[in-house]
Structure 1
Amino acid sequence: MEGWRGAALALTIVLSGEAGAVCPAWTPARAENEIAVLQQQLRHWDEAYYQQGESAIADADYDSLQLRLRQWQRCFYSASPAYAVRLPDNGERRHPVAHAGVKKLPDKLAVAYWMQGRKSLWAQPKVDGLAVTLVYRQGALVSLISRGDGLRGEEWFDKARHIPAIPPRIETDLPEVVLQGELFLQMSDHHQARQGGQNARAQTAGALMSKTRSPLLSALGIFIWAWPDGPQSMPARLEQLERWGFPLAKQWSREVHNEEEVAEWRDRWFNAALPFATDGVVIHQAQRPAGKNWLPGQGDWAVAWKYQPPVVSSEVLSVHFAVGRTGKISVVLNLLPVQLDDKTVKRVNLGSVRRWRELDILPGDQVALSLAGQGIPRLERVIWRVAERRYPEPPAANVGDELRCLSFSVECREQFLARLSWLSQKSVLDIPGVQRSTWQRLLSTGEITHLFSWLTLSPEQIATASGISPKRAGQLWHRFNLTRQQPLRRWISALGVPLPRAALNALGESRWEDVLARQSADWRRLPGVGAVMAEKIVAYLQNEQVTQAIAFLRQHGIPATSSMLGVGIVEDRQTQAEAQREQTRNEAEQQRDDNHRFMRQ
């Protein structure tokens, strides 16, 4: 329930493990320049925000850039002073009671740990707005102060007269009443799960920062979440607040006894219709120290458990150009790992080189990410670009050719690896336990020269690859030999012939001679094959590298019949069953090896 930028004015931001894990490989001169440029931009945004009431950047993006700036300053021991917002009146209005803020907890386990040994705990929605202090003297409102740095803020009393939700007077015998709460944009049946924050906080800020009277002021509400020197009993506090004209705290406070109840209310409020936007839940302990002892960042009597944001930010570590098996070049951003929902996101695919150039993204840039359908990471926007732009060179355009790279060469390495990874998939030749990393090891031996030369490797040759033991080499040799039994249509797929799956399944031929004899009209009779694709298939099969690969397979009797199979190939059902059991054991052993390797890393 902290105000947006005011929350970062004086409180020290503790960098998370992810945010502080990587320092850019910059020279000191470049680091100072990057820091200065980002500071200047933050200052520009602050001036627009505080002087014109305009929010030129999303709240989360601003917060992430402040965090990044602090990281850079720590990485390079920058001589630049720590960044601090300059309020229009320098934040000269002192809070009678400091805003202590709330510590953010990452998950239910942390909530359970915090709740241990504490009594009289209450959950409230974490209203997404601007934190303020209300001061009443002799029952009359005399001050409305922005959160600022928690000790001092900006005086907004002149705006309070135009906010009907703030009572100008309360009935009390107390000489002074100090309340802390959240000014927010009132909504009707707002569902946080479906609608998100809808920029409500920025709209609230704009109405309060504007030098002219904003009509939006009349649409603001107030949620009081702290009465520092009020009754020690939470029910008594809530009852009195309601009598004074602040009913929301009572309506939206629930006593909780364990983390399961907190999780239940958190989930319910996330999906229910509420009169405000929220970004989590806050758990309050009824007992708290006297207001005179409150300090920014020192409040251990209230914690927040925020919702997982639908969009998070990360820093680009490197730009990788991936060449697929058909030669298509795609751009992948390697990222500082971030958590999105239940996924750790380390990379995002941008698509084509053209799109990468249009987006203009380089290492050091800050980007916003979300999850698309099926949990696939997606780039939402670029938040910040570093000042110094050094562009990596994409692969040569002529590599992007699906008829190239059926044989190994240095320039074909990426595409050739993609072809090998493709053919080992279950839907193609089904070679269990053989991944891209396996092919990389085998390529390092120099024994694999074309797409199917692995079929001629001996166990001894396989064992020369780094990280492959003799036992593992024997397993791989056996699995390679088993592929000889795969039907012709799978070898056509392994070869990369651009044939749709439905057409491939409908293909009746069992010999390469029949496949090569097909004309364009014959291919068009298969489902999903039109005139253009038929010509493409014919041209593919007539390509010199393709005809050489087919000749190699024919020379080795592939696809094989049971009578043609050599040593190591099963010939009857009993032997096949034994081979299947051996394959299962081998896969289990490989999984254990992979797990051990992962633990060592």
Structure 2
Amino acid sequence: MTRDAADARAAELRAALDYHNHRYYVLDDPEISDAEYDRLFAELVALERARPDLARPDSPTQRVGARPSTAFVPVVHGQAMLSLANVFSEQELADFDRRVRERLGHDDVIYVAEPKLDGLAVSLRYEDGLLVRAATRGDGTTGEDVTANVRTIRTCPLRLQSAAPPRVLEVRGEVYMPRDGFLRLNEMQVAQGGKPFANPRNAAAGSLRQLDPTISAQRPLRLFCYGVGDWSGGDAPRTQERLLTCLADFGLPVNPERRVVTGYEGCLRYYADLGRRRGELAYEIDGVVYKVNEVAEQRLLGELSRTPRWAVAHKFPAEEAVTQVVRIDVQVGRTGALTPVAVLTPVAVGGVMVSHATLHNPDELARKDVRIGDWVSVRRAGDVIPEIVGVVLDKRPDDAKPFRFPDRCPVCGSPVVRDQGVVARCAGGLVCQAQRRQTIRHFASRRALDMEGVGDKLVEQLVDGGLVETVTDLFKLTVSDLAGLERMGERSATKVTQAIAASRVTTFPRFLYALGIPEVGEATARALAQHFASLEALMAADEHELTAVPDVGPVVAHAIAVFFSEPHNRAVIAGLQAAGVRWPALERPARGPLSGKTVVLTGTLEGMTREQARAALEGLGAKVVSSVSPRTDFVVAGRDPGSKVKRAREYGVPVIDEQGLRAWLGKGPVTDDAS
């Protein structure tokens, strides 16, 4: 065969194979048999082997062939890949439509509605029609280069079917795995002794992110495209529907289930229809996406930081299943909250195997009366977090055992207190192993003891390395202890130890806040410090005495009393004092001219910080709070005050500016910390 004849035949075979690939994988309407397709493919392979110069990157034979990658290269998206806001009810959808209509200034907005696939979002970049790069969504700004793997997806064209494609076309789409392909893949996994995938979404994500593209090629991945991030060169479509039609004309797969609908009612009809046919689709979906059709209107509506205002996802109700409770465990979170968790006989819920489900808190556990041995209905809240809907009472066994919620922490044995009557929380915050990282991070934070340099990563290393068990150990750290840690040379270690040493001198309110007492924030810590003036007096106070402090009710008083009655906590406090943590003595404040007045600070103050203004006002007896209510006495408004001024005027609350505040206070420089 002559060179020209070989060139012509190779081009003819490539065009034929691309056409039949599209008919088979995208349109699901093949025109030739598998045997005939295989014959054409084998002929092209033989031609390219005999004449390597004939092989082209967009040839059907080149879908697999790249060497396995050792890592995924980061890809910065030219235009951020935004997430979609979710709505779960007809009212939330009506609210979305109302906001769109109000911003556009007209009714009967036209939307494009399409299924919301449960897959993995990708961006495909075509230059002059040729696929040059594919990336995952990542965090929306930066994804991972998965070009070699996407090239193995049969529904993804390596070259656009257009004589005059855009110079640059960045297509957004969803990689997914059909139901039948997912079942076949799991059968193969089990047959080979592997672990089956939990659901098609996980299978698709895991298959696309293989370091070896030959593995991706063996997985039944598919692609649907739904938008563009860039269209450079040529006229971009002016509507969402026209855009999808153009993508289909280019040979890119778009979902045939999409519809153009009018207004809220049209969206609801589509949602109901697709919901009825959900189980008949060849792929998993978890809802419907609505997008304003006119591109000009999309631009007018704009975007929030992470979501567009012109599109929304209408999620289907969570799927439910029935299974049995094996036991109930209590988990202790990083803030000390105790959460009952039901251990279940594994059951598939919404395509995921569920073996644990949260019961949220003791009250929810009691309200649902879930017992060990009960048969329960389980759903995935928002299709993500498994939770127990309720007990199937007619299946309750005679030997089902009620669960008694513990009154001591299962990790450290400290007492359990009720947080505002709902959350059960471990009172051993200074010693509980489950809370260790959170306790240390909070203790060292800027508003607590302000240990500069003691951040999340360093705390993690200190705890994991066994250098710090309680907050007292922070004051025992040496430069040599720290210098050997990751990203911590001798110079940095010296700065951290100096910052820790400097934090020994603090204020009484800061110290109380740093202890992390349940229900005690900065305002309550200041109120306790002002009322009791000394740590000894506060630790000796009973619940009745504590409720005499402004804003300390019975629940907060109980939490404080239990915290200070716990011997482990007292031992840590004694250790801190032995380590030199101290503060200036306080005197009980006399009644000031603003005693009993409630003040709100808002906006940016020019001549003082908000903390300085708060300290000055509290020094005069005022109570400074964060939100405006009819009981607020006045609002101090700095620059860019926001909505609090509007709310104050609605309530008839006086508003003064910074100049008025300074004149009223008789300023005078303000001290940095009145406490």
TM norm structure 2: 0.37
Q: Which fold has the larger relative contact order, with Cα–Cα distance below 8 Å and residues 6 or more apart in sequence?
A: 1
TM norm structure 1: 0.40
